[in-house]
Structure 1
Amino acid sequence: MKRIFLIQIFLLIALLSMTGCKTGSEEQQSAGEPAKIKIAASFEAVKAITEAVGGEHVEVYSIIPDGTEPHNFEPTAKDLMNLQNADLFVYNGFGLESSWLDKALSSTNEEKKLTVVEASKGADPLLLDEKSDDGKAVTDPHIWLSINGAELEAENIKNALNNADPAHKDDYEKNFQAFKNSLDGLKKEYTAKFADSQRKDFVTGHAAFGYLAKDFGLKQNSVSDALLSGEPSAKKLKELTDYCKENNVTTIFVEDMVSPKVSETLAREVGAKAVEIYTLESLPEGMDYISALKYDLEKIYESLN
């Protein structure tokens, strides 16, 4: 299977070479414009953070197509073509891309030195209750949903861009600071709001908000686990149903990238309303990273009061 995958990659590269296809950077250079740094990001949230820091000096593509759930994603040779022309590859880490990362990197042109950036490097991971097949603790990958986590990822990306393109270091520093200031503004606003909230717990369909909850001293309870590794058991659903009834939970959050069926059933069972919330694995139309994160925080705040 791996041999077939590699053959597909080589054939696509050869086809592009024979047809004289120009990259975006080549087209810019031929037009007399400064070449942008070409960056492949693993999925949409990483792409958004990279664009916020890189600004006008970068051209960023997602390996995982927008609107595609990244958990257990397996890229095709076509999905990986942007990696062949990239100067940098930025991925989230914490195991999210582990099913395909090594295979993707092994398919790149060995003569070209691709800078690989693990955006979550240096962060303290949250460990899940579940265990891997070899009995090891499993890391929650959803750090990009945390304000503190997003700031760390942005700083790691900034440092990589400074090394790759020192001529524009001042711009990357300025862009990073603007992004951080926006995040800090959200942190300040919602720290004050959550401090006055009547309750500190919320219920989601998918356990993706552990890092965000930690930012503000909240607790999430969820129908499905963080890795979407199967349907919830009848015991799990009964425990959560009882919890919602005993604690008068009025809102069950439904994630945009996950089937809403079980969450909507739970909402009906306990007399709650189902409210959409975003995991930022795909940015909602008309929103950027900051506005989508603010939307989530506001909906969570409303559910606690």
Structure 2
Amino acid sequence: MKKKLFKIIGPLCMMILLSACVNKKEAVDNNENAEKKIFVVSSFNAMTEFAMAIGGDKIEITTIVPSGVEAHDFEPKAKDMKNMSKADLFVYNGLEMEHWAEDILKSIDNKNLVVVEASKGADLIKTSKQEGHEHGHFDPHVWLSLKEAKVEANNIKEALVKIDYSNKSYYEENYKRFEKELDDLKDEYESKIKPLQNKTFVTGHAAFAYLCREFDLHQYSVEDVFAEGEPTPQKIKELVSIGKEVNLKTVFTEENVSPKVSETLAREIGAKTETINTLESEGNYIETMRENLQKIYESLN
């Protein structure tokens, strides 16, 4: 009787044990697949913000240019090359913002890397001949336009869909949500800024041409588009004159640009200085652009 019982129970136990092992393996495999994320390398903070807005919890991201460093001036390190060699996606602005991007792409061995030049397809603003002599012929600060930010975010979305088509609807929903946030912010400040008589402001460097085009504002700057060179005495005199003429209350300076000249200019005019964020180093995109617009709006009243 015991032998018969063993013949029945023995195989049954083996079947249960094997089934448990298979189920455990499937659970481990499913867990690994669920946790596997697209590895994204972005050039600087604004590109990281766009990628996170679209990629959400489907991506793991690292930013090449550290906080407090100008993307124009940065030189990639060995760790950046290593990250690029194993990345699924590389996101950069383009337009000579990251002069090192082309060299780093040539030097790595990563045939599966998808590369997104986020500014592709944007409505670009030409720089002056002097400004564009070494850096290209277009203002690279595309991301500081709420309208052009949609172009950059859409380019990133298309790349993520290409890499991970099974989650296409997820990326598209995230893009629609981000697009609505951008449109709502634009509508809010259009209604505030449009009635104003004075629409002139002064910045440390000429990073806000796209934003000005969007809101019919006029930007004067201490330094040029690429924040290079010291302003001439004639330039300072001109800015003082403009500031007094429009009763300028604020001279803006940026997070990565020396405030010394802006502070001198502000004293000459009788204005205060305040920091405005170009999102190159830090800041949530929507929140920071709202803060920028609010500061500009208050300075014009």
Work out the CA distance in 2 between the residues paired with 1:169 and 1:133: 39
Instruction: Kindly indicate whether the alpha-carbon contact (under 8 Å) linking 1:206 and 1:223 is maintained by their aligned counterparts in 2.
Output: yes
Work out the CA distance in 1 between the residues paired with 2:261 and 2:141: 21
Work out the CA distance in 2 between the residues paired with 1:136 and 1:34: 41
- 5 Å matches for 1:161-240? 161-240=160-239
Distance 1:297 1:161, change over 3 A: same
C-alpha displacement of 1:76: 2.1
Work out the CA distance in 2 between the residues paired with 1:236 and 1:213: 21
Aligned to 2:294: 298
Distance 1:221 1:134, change over 3 A: closer
Q: SS in structure 2 opposite 1:129? A: coil
Instruction: Kindly indicate whether the alpha-carbon contact (under 8 Å) linking 1:129 and 1:137 is maintained by their aligned counterparts in 2.
Output: no
Post-superposition CA distance 1:265-293 (Å, at most 9, x none): 10011100111110000224xxx210001
The 10-residue stretch of structure 1 (72-81 or 247-256) with the greater mean CA deviation from structure 2: 72-81
TM-score normalised by L of structure 2: 0.86
Work out the CA distance in 2 between the residues paired with 1:265 and 1:29: 62
Work out the CA distance in 2 between the residues paired with 1:271 and 1:160: 49
In structure 1, stretches of 5+ residues that fail to align are: 1-27
* Bigger-Rg structure (1/2): 2
Q: SS in structure 1 opposite 2:108? A: coil
Code of the aligned partner of 1:265: T
Distance 1:182 1:267, change over 3 A: same
Code of the aligned partner of 1:234: P
Work out the CA distance in 2 between the residues paired with 1:94 and 1:297: 24
Aligned to 2:11: none
Aligned to 1:8: none
C-alpha displacement of 1:131: 3.2
C-alpha displacement of 1:60: 1.1
The answer to which structure has the higher helix fraction is 2
Q: SS in structure 1 opposite 2:212? A: helix
Q: SS in structure 2 opposite 1:75? A: coil
Post-superposition CA distance 1:27-50 (Å, at most 9, x none): x98856431000111101101110
C-alpha displacement of 1:137: 6.3
Code of the aligned partner of 2:105: L
Post-superposition CA distance 1:173-212 (Å, at most 9, x none): 0100111110001010001001122311111111101101
Q: SS in structure 1 opposite 2:152? A: helix
Are positions 1:101 and 2:101 aligned together?
yes
Are positions 1:139 and 2:138 aligned together?
yes
Instruction: Kindly indicate whether the alpha-carbon contact (under 8 Å) linking 2:131 and 2:225 is maintained by their aligned counterparts in 1.
Output: no
- 5 Å matches for 1:90-129? 90-97=91-98, 99-110=99-110, 112-129=111-128
Q: SS in structure 2 opposite 1:131? A: coil
Code of the aligned partner of 2:75: E
- Aligned-pair identity in percent equals 48
Work out the CA distance in 1 between the residues paired with 2:197 and 2:137: 32
Q: SS in structure 2 opposite 1:38? A: strand
Instruction: Kindly indicate whether the alpha-carbon contact (under 8 Å) linking 2:127 and 2:139 is maintained by their aligned counterparts in 1.
Output: yes
Aligned CA-pair RMSD: 2.0
Instruction: Kindly indicate whether the alpha-carbon contact (under 8 Å) linking 2:93 and 2:117 is maintained by their aligned counterparts in 1.
Output: yes
Code of the aligned partner of 2:124: P
Instruction: Kindly indicate whether the alpha-carbon contact (under 8 Å) linking 2:125 and 2:139 is maintained by their aligned counterparts in 1.
Output: yes
Aligned to 1:5: none
Instruction: Kindly indicate whether the alpha-carbon contact (under 8 Å) linking 1:63 and 1:80 is maintained by their aligned counterparts in 2.
Output: no
Work out the CA distance in 2 between the residues paired with 1:137 and 1:168: 37
Work out the CA distance in 2 between the residues paired with 1:150 and 1:176: 11
Code of the aligned partner of 2:260: K
Code of the aligned partner of 2:188: E
C-alpha displacement of 1:249: 1.0
Work out the CA distance in 2 between the residues paired with 1:118 and 1:283: 20
Aligned to 2:71: 70
Work out the CA distance in 2 between the residues paired with 1:241 and 1:134: 27
Aligned to 1:43: 44
Work out the CA distance in 1 between the residues paired with 2:136 and 2:143: 20
Aligned to 1:88: 89
Work out the CA distance in 1 between the residues paired with 2:131 and 2:253: 26
State the number of aligned residues. Answer: 274
TM-score normalised by L of structure 1: 0.85
C-alpha displacement of 1:72: 2.5
Q: SS in structure 2 opposite 1:183? A: helix
Instruction: Kindly indicate whether the alpha-carbon contact (under 8 Å) linking 2:95 and 2:136 is maintained by their aligned counterparts in 1.
Output: no
